[in-house]
Homo-oligomer: A and B are copies of this chain.
Amino acid sequence: MNITLDQADLAISAAKDKALDLDTKMNIAVVDAGANLVAFARMDGAWLGSLDIAIKKAKTARYFDMNTGMIGDLSQPGGPLYNIEHSNGGLITFPGGIPIKDESGTIIGAIGVSGSSVDNDHSVASAGAKSV
């Protein structure tokens, strides 16, 4: 099962609402089950460099079916996945990427958010993921 464009638009809309609540400007990306981009939005004035990070967070979350921050915990110096970020054309492993599931719990895609603190990035991604 793959996320639809309507579902992806819903996730981006919910994420944007949350970003406005937090008074932040975000880049928001949604990928499908194959880790390919479905929808993207960069809010006016959001960091340019967060464009690529948002997309990489979404891909990373789908690549390993977990929140990006969990991978970052394991990829620290001395950790079991040290420097995993060198794979797949570049991973982003700090918080802000979250898998998106359907009602049955099947992962149908992922959302990635970048543009503020990682706590805010995660909150906005979470709002998007939950809306689907």
Interface of chain A residues 58 through 106 with chain B (CB within 8 A): 59-60, 62-65, 72, 75-78, 80-95
Q: Say yes or no for A44: interface residue by CB 8 A criterion.
A: yes
Q: Say yes or no for A35: interface residue by CB 8 A criterion.
A: yes
- A32 partner residues in chain B, CB cutoff 8 A: 34
Would you give the shortest CB distance from A3 to chain B, in whole angstroms?
A: 9
Q: Say yes or no for A132: interface residue by CB 8 A criterion.
A: no
Q: Find out whether the CB atom of A41 lies under 8 angstroms from the CB atom of B39.
A: yes
Q: Find out whether the CB atom of A43 lies under 8 angstroms from the CB atom of B5.
A: yes
Interface of chain A residues 7 through 49 with chain B (CB within 8 A): 8-9, 32-44, 47-49
Closest to A63 in B: B49
Q: Find out whether the CB atom of A87 lies under 8 angstroms from the CB atom of B48.
A: no
Q: Find out whether the CB atom of A77 lies under 8 angstroms from the CB atom of B76.
A: yes
Q: Find out whether the CB atom of A36 lies under 8 angstroms from the CB atom of B51.
A: yes
Complex formed: what's the CA distance from A80 to B49 in Å? 16
A contact set with B: CB distance below 8 Å = 4-5, 8-9, 32-44, 47-53, 56, 59-60, 62-65, 72, 75-78, 80-95, 117-118
